[in-house]
Structure 1
Amino acid sequence: MNKSRLLMSLFLCAGLAACSSAQVARDEASALIESGQYEAGLARIEEGLRENPRDTELHMALNSGRALAVTSLLSQADMDRAQRNFAGARMTYSRVLNIEPNNRRAQDSLRQLDYLRSMDEKLELARGDLRRGDIYGADRQVKQILELDPKNDGALELQDSIRLVQSRNVVQYPQLRTRLDRPVTLEFRDANLKTIFEVLSQVAGLNFIFDKDLRPDMKATIFVRDVRIEDAVELLLQQNQLHQKVVNENTVLIYPDSPQKIKDYQELVMRTFYLTSIDANTALNMIKTMLKTRDVFVDERLNTLTMRDTGDAVRMA
């Protein structure tokens, strides 16, 4: 009887000691994790599990501790990265992988940080592209940089420079503005064309200049109601095979629709394209075939293509 009581007492003491050991491990680990010493806290729980492998609460504490550590470290690493503290972000993402080796978010972030380290080289390449006139190449490089590092000062500055160059390459045409903000009604039968334009000039405040080769006896018949002044002018031009050129916001030049006159009055622009993804001679054939541009020149050494044509044709190229 005394022997049985002794054995029970020994088992009870052992159980109490195990419970006490597990509780100490949990308490110490909790304090370490709360202070941000995640690795040390998790190591303390694992140590407690080696002594008490069947302790359910220790297993639960290990799982919850790992989840808390990973979430907190990822948040800190993301914050460091947003503040451009790339060294701190790298160290913290690495801590995540020490705790959870297969964490995809930390793996991807470290790869992106490796890419960010080469941003200075990439930025210099983009600057070189812009200096050579390869706007497309420079813009592509800058977009790749800003996708990973939206606050990169050098890339943002270069992006502004690219936009400025692009705006200069856009041909700005004058826009016609009339003092008439309401539709017009025209009723003319076999009237002298210049007389009709004189009426429009008085009503809309527009100036019409006529090419010297325009026949003075040209007539037109037009019956339209509630149309824009621009549409009325276009209808008159179509009737008589004429073209117009907007000289400024209130002046229009009227000239005959003939190949020579069109050539005389069309404004031509010239632009050089620095090609990176296509051979210059291949581009030359495409432009001549699709745009019918004749004034195109190729520099095979620099792989550039220079064309002289109307602004619309240059923009399409």
Structure 2
Amino acid sequence: MASHLKKHHRRLALPPLLALVLALGGCAGQMAYRDGNTLMAQDQVEAGLLKYQEALKAEPTNAEYRAAYVQARDRAAQGFIREAERQLADGQPELAEQGWRRALALDPANERARAGLRTLERNARQAKLLAIAREHVARGEYDLAKQRLNALLTETPSNEPARQLLREVTEKTAPSAVETGLAKAYKQPITIEFRDAPLKQVFEVISRRSNLNFVFDKDVKTDQRTTVLLRNSTVEAAIYFLLLTNQLEQQVMDANTVLIYPNTAAKQKEYQEMTVKTFYLANADAKMVANTLKTILKTRDVVVDEKLNLLIVRDNPEAIRLAERVIATQDMPEAEVMLEVEILEVKRSTLMNLGVQWPTSIGINPLTDLAGDLTVNELRNLNSDRILLSGISGAININKTDTDSNLLANPRIRVRNKQKANIVIGDKLPVITPTVSGGGLGGFASDSVTYVDVGLKLAVEPTIYLNDEIAIKVELEVSNLVSTLTTRNGSTAYQLGTRQASTTLQLKDGENQVLAGLINNEQRGTGNKIPGAGDLPILGRLFGTQRDDNQKTEIVLSITPRLIRNVQRPEASASEFSAGTDASFRRRPDFSARPAVQMPALPGAQPRPGVGAVVELAPPAQTAPVTLSPSQPSGPSPQQLQQQQFQQMQQQQQMQQQQQQQIQRQQLSQPTQPGQPAQPLQPAEQIAPPAEPAPPAAPAAPVEESPIPSVPPPVQDVPLSRGQPAPLPPASGQPRPLQ
């Protein structure tokens, strides 16, 4: 019996104990929440986060604690992530990995921290691939290096070291169009000087060195004079300048044949080849790209296939090549961003109904007869047995009700750059409106139904910048049904409560922003008490009842942008390049200096007055000869030339000395004008113009062992054998020294 009573006593004591525990837990949660707010205000994010965890552990259903905890958690995680990104940029991947893992410990679903760890893994893998590709390049295995680099760039197109290495490999392995069509003849170095020379003669010299065949149109004036002075240039540059300055154009016929024709509209239509190319676009809009080509390149033959998103272009090869580069700058993937949105409706409702509800009125009703009438005699004999009291009723009110907030939405939406995204969560309320069509007996009534959206509506439009910042235009509207109204004609209308917010903000990648302040606060108080006594403090509750109803609602919007992909800024070479002139898209050649290569003059070429030419196509075996045109002053002094010639003289044979003596005697027959600088002799590899006619001199005595015949005066230049030194120029008024 005693045991039974003890168990019954425990069951009776359990509810009060549970209530006490819950009350203490609520107080502990409130204290932890306040401490967390204090720590967050002091920028102690991690300590404040621990306090919010304690508060949420004490009251797991408290939405206010949950919202504060989520905000503090995101703030702490973003701090770890920003520090990790800074460490990665400073070349400290180990510390960056620790930061990202700390962020994941706080928020296991943090996509930015996961992406950071994936970036570390990808960087390590790509560094290994890049090292392997460099080894392939060092061994000359360019195909294997290309495979590694293409795989690496497919995964990460912005890897600049890999792109640079791929460009180097491509330059080494893939010849350009000119090299392929002309067997690399255009890239041969050349130094050429012609003054007022026939155009045909210049092309003959270039043809001998480059092994190119030149075919001229019948309208090309091959006898027209031209002047070209190029040193350490290329065959391509020489041909380019000749064509440009003489209004000519070229057409490659085969691997070593070039057709030269006048640069006129009629000849262009006749000779210029046209190329048709199809461009498959992966990201850009075909119509927009077509308009760009028509505006920039003046391309007329462009066909757009919107279904396949491709372009078909017909133009000359130079225009096609430029179109490829223009399209490459446009056909790039658009930037995208993931928006993490959390919308909370923080609603706190408190209802307090405490006191004694006394009757508001007492009715006295005397008992009457069956007819319900009260006579005077009965009124005289009225006593307590014949009096009925009504309305005597009361109640004791002890009631308090609290409600918490609820989560409206937590969507994650992916949006392209400058595209609008909408989120609608709620109901559509029908609004019925009766209408009558026609009149009289033939009319009929009908109902028209329209719908009104009630709930949550969110519209976002991001703008992504190249510095990884995102500007977001946000429009938020939260509506609810307040009451239903019926009009006189029977139609239904609704009274809606609406709260709206519209703003534009700019955030960094992963930065969280909380928008709050859409508050609706309602306070209602109702009292039912005895006059006078009910107004007493504390004791007034015994003489009346007080009902306090407080409702506070706040809309909180938390938004965090996560950059998925940004626009890759093109390289300088891709964003700026030569596009020819208004009249032609002719490509400018490579003008980089190269070692000069000498070439002998054409056999039998006779110089004309005022005409000079120097053609150098390879560096000499020893000291480079001094090349001076007749109009240029001498460069080295006669003493320096004399020293060089005497050094070479010791290495020559007796026959060469006799030949030099004969040449010296012939040149000494030409007197030098006083004050006029001595003109140096031209080397044998040059075609030198004649000087002014000199007075005739006595013929030199013939030398039998010399294979060179005597030349009658006036003699301007005598060709020498290759490798034979040129005679020394004499000083003014002095005879030339014998070799």
Higher strand share: 2
**TM superposition score normalised by structure 1:** 0.44
**TM superposition score normalised by structure 2:** 0.21
Task: Choose 1 or 2 for highest CA Rg.
Answer: 2
Higher helix share: 1
